[in-house]
Amino acid sequence: MAKAEGNSVELDRTAFYPESGGQPSDKGKLVCGSQEFNVLKCKKQAGTVVHELDKPGLKAGDKVKGEIDWQWRYRLMRMHTGAHIITMAVQSISQNALVTGGQIGFEESRDDYSLEELTPELVKQIEEKSNEIVNAGIEVQIRQLPREEAFKLPQLFKLRDVLPPSIPIIRIIQIAEDMNACGGTHVKNTKEVGKITITETKSKGAGNRRIYYKLEG
């Protein structure tokens, strides 16, 4: 335990994923001897991860063991990987469509795309294409590259002005030909995501469309 202040603690190292980029943080518990503290939420703060607990009682120097709520985390990993897959499907019908926002949830998630229109036929195509990718059982590859090298890749070139120079190493997520810079948590294979159902779409202003989706199981 590096630091404790009321219900908030910082650890020397942690496997808890902090809330970031539309993905909720991990939950779980910290065990200190016979005492258990529920981790309600984690957030990034000044380069460290602050764990918000359900009660105070821990102090700097305490030895704790972290346990991540795996059911919660795995579901979010599937949902997050599903967002990459739906983006691939969207871009298969509209090559220049970009993700403009998104929020991962346990029951339902959403993603916004720069799309002029989203007819029921297009929604059906996106859903079918998404499930084709899921069923193809494609490996989700993760690697890190220095930014100069990363931006030499044509798929990532467009991000060179988006990612601030303070990020020297780019974490690349690749599914088949699709590449993205992403710090989130992913499953290892697209088949782990399970069947994707697009539940609803909404217009979020000119040239912006929102897609809601759920996963089976």
The site map against Zn ion for 171-190 (x = CB under 5 A) is --x--------x-x------
Query: With 0-12 CB in 10 A as exposed, 13-18 as middle and 19+ as buried, what is 91?
Result: middle
Residue number with CB closer to Zn ion (30 or 173): 173
6/20 Cα distance (integer angstroms): 23
Shortest Cβ 22–Zn ion spacing (Å): 10
Shortest Cβ 83–Zn ion spacing (Å): 7
77: contact with Zn ion by CB under 5 A: no
Residue number with CB closer to Zn ion (64 or 172): 172
86: contact with Zn ion by CB under 5 A: no
206/29 Cα distance (integer angstroms): 44
Query: What is the helix (H) or strand (E) element at residue 174, kind and residue range?
Result: strand 169-175
Structure tokens at 29: 């518990």
Query: What is the helix (H) or strand (E) element at residue 133, kind and residue range?
Result: helix 120-135
Shortest Cβ 179–Zn ion spacing (Å): 11
Return residues touching Zn ion (CB under 5 A).
173, 182, 184
